[in-house]
């Protein structure tokens, strides 16, 4: 392709990337290094329908004087990244010095919001991703070997979880696992413990979120694998069959190697998606048991006082974590690409 043609060809997507990826990245990085100006506070008397009270307010004029000329706020460098709401370096140090056993240290770490969020986010990512790949593959193989007439409806039903809006899907499950819902009641009668409740127990809530994650994403892996299965060389399969390979052996030695590049692709997408787990935490009202980095950003921005710098710092950390997470997969893809 000529350079000029290439330029015009990629220009729209380059512009879109600049606008929707690069600029927001610059924005959060800049924002995360600045904190608000010192607020000048004054004592005031507030009066209302319930009487007067002595209170405090921000002195707008004095604060405005500080703000003028420095629209970003005060430069704080990496301070926000290191404070308790994020990497909590000082607190981690104290926990390390103050704890005798690993268990004690772990408990103290989980008391810090960033590490609490990471513990769930990473568990979720590394449990859901392989399960999605396994289930997606199993469904794809099963659907592919079904009789032609039922394949259409089977594909439709297998894709349903992906078609349902995540929030709605999670809400449906949320009602089902309620202590008075169908799954909740079944659990209680199976275990014989009337006080058993998915929503009240941290381990059960984690399992619930993971089950939801697999349920919601498996169709994605399924449809990718199903497309891949259509391209498996039937000659090779027949040859293997003639050589006496069983069905399991044919899958193991012919189908799986053929689908490996697709697996890399699914793993890449799923690692990214699962790392920013968010909707189920909100719709399951699970924040007492499980938080994630995305939830922390939402929480910072949802309060009565918006914490923009804190949310920006968490966003930067999310980006860094995703880069770290994807590096092995990307290196692999690069090598595969180089080999060809």
Partner 1 sequence: MYMWRKVAMTTAFAALAGTTAMANCGIDTGRVSIVGNEFPAIQTVAAAAAACGSDAAEVKSNLTADHQKINLAGMLGDPAEYTTAIIANSSIIALMNDDVIRPLDDLIAAHGADIPAKQLISINGKVMAVAFMANAQTLAYRADVLKEIGVEPPKSYEEMLAAAEMIREKGIMENPIGGAYAAGWNLAEEFVNMYIGTGGEFFTPGTAEVSINNEKGVAALEMMKSLTAYMNPDYLTHDSNGTQAEWEAGNVALMSMWGSRMGNLMDTEGSEPVVYENTMVGGPLMVGDSGVPATTLWWDGWTVAKNVSDEDATATFLAMKEATSPAILNDTTMAEAVWMIDGYTPAPVSAGVFAAIAAGSQPYPMLPFMGLLHTAAGDNIADFLQGKESAEQALADIEAAYTAAATENGFLQ
Contact residues toward partner 1 (CB under 8 A) are 35-39, 41-50, 53-58, 60, 64, 73-74, 80, 83-85, 91, 111, 113, 178-179, 194-195, 197, 199-200, 202, 284-289, 299-307, 309-310
**Number of helical H runs and strand E runs in the chain:** 17, 4
Which residue lies nearer to partner 1 by CB, 178 or 273?
178
Q: How far is the CB of 77 from partner 1 (least distance, A)?
A: 13
Which residue lies nearer to partner 1 by CB, 11 or 167?
167
Q: How far is the CB of 105 from partner 1 (least distance, A)?
A: 15
> What does the block give as tokens for 211?
């089950």
Q: How many CB atoms lie within 10 A of CB 194?
A: 9
> What does the block give as tokens for 273?
């998606």
Q: Chain-centre distance of CA 77, in angstroms?
A: 27
Which residue lies nearer to partner 1 by CB, 101 or 195?
195
Q: How far is the CB of 39 from partner 1 (least distance, A)?
A: 5
> What does the block give as tokens for 78?
């990496």
Which residue lies nearer to partner 1 by CB, 60 or 327?
60
100-111 exposure pattern, b = at least 16 Cβ within 10 A, e = fewer: eeeeebeebbee
Which residue lies nearer to partner 1 by CB, 43 or 234?
43
Q: How far is the CB of 296 from partner 1 (least distance, A)?
A: 9
Closest by alpha carbon to 203, among 97, 134, 92, 123?
123
- 3-state helix, strand, coil split of the chain in percent (to 5) is 70, 5, 20
CA distance 198 to 164: 23
Q: How far is the CB of 62 from partner 1 (least distance, A)?
A: 12
């Amino acid at each position: 392709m000529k350079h000029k043609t290439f330029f015009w060809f990629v220009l729209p997507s380059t512009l879109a990337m600049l606008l929707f990826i690069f600029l927001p990245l610059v924005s959060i990085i800049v924002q995360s290094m600045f904190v608000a100006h010192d607020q000048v506070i004054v004592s005031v008397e507030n009066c209302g329908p319930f009487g007067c009270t002595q209170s405090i307010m921000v002195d707008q004029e004095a604060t405005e004087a500080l703000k003028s000329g420095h629209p970003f706020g005060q430069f704080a460098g990496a301070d926000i990244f290191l404070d308790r709401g994020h990497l909590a370096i000082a607190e981690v140090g104290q926990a390390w010095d103050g704890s005798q056993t690993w268990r004690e240290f772990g408990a103290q770490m989980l008391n810090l919001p960033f590490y609490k969020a990471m513990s769930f986010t990473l568990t979720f990512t590394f449990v859901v991703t392989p399960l999605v790949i396994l289930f997606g593959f199993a469904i794809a193989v099963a659907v592919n070997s079904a009789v032609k007439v039922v394949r259409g409806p089977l594909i439709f039903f297998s894709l349903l979880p992906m078609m349902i809006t995540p929030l709605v899907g999670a809400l449906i499950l949320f009602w089902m696992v309620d202590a008075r819902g169908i799954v909740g009641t079944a659990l209680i009668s199976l275990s014989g413990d009337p006080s058993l409740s998915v929503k009240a127990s941290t381990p059960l809530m984690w399992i619930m979120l993971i089950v939801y994650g697999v349920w919601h994403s498996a169709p994605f892996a399924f449809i990718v694998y199903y497309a891949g299965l259509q391209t498996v060389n039937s000659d090779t399969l027949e040859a293997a069959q003639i050589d006496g390979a069983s069905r399991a052996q044919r899958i193991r030695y012919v189908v799986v190697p053929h689908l490996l590049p697709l697996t890399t692709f699914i793993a890449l997408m799923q690692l990214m998606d699962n790392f920013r787990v968010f909707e189920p935490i909100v719709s399951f009202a699970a924040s007492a048991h499980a938080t994630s980095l995305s939830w922390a950003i939402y929480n910072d921005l949802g309060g009565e006082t918006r914490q923009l710098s804190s949310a920006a710092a968490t966003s930067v950390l999310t980006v860094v974590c995703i880069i770290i997470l994807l590096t092995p997969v990307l290196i692999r893809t690069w090598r595969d690409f180089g080999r060809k």
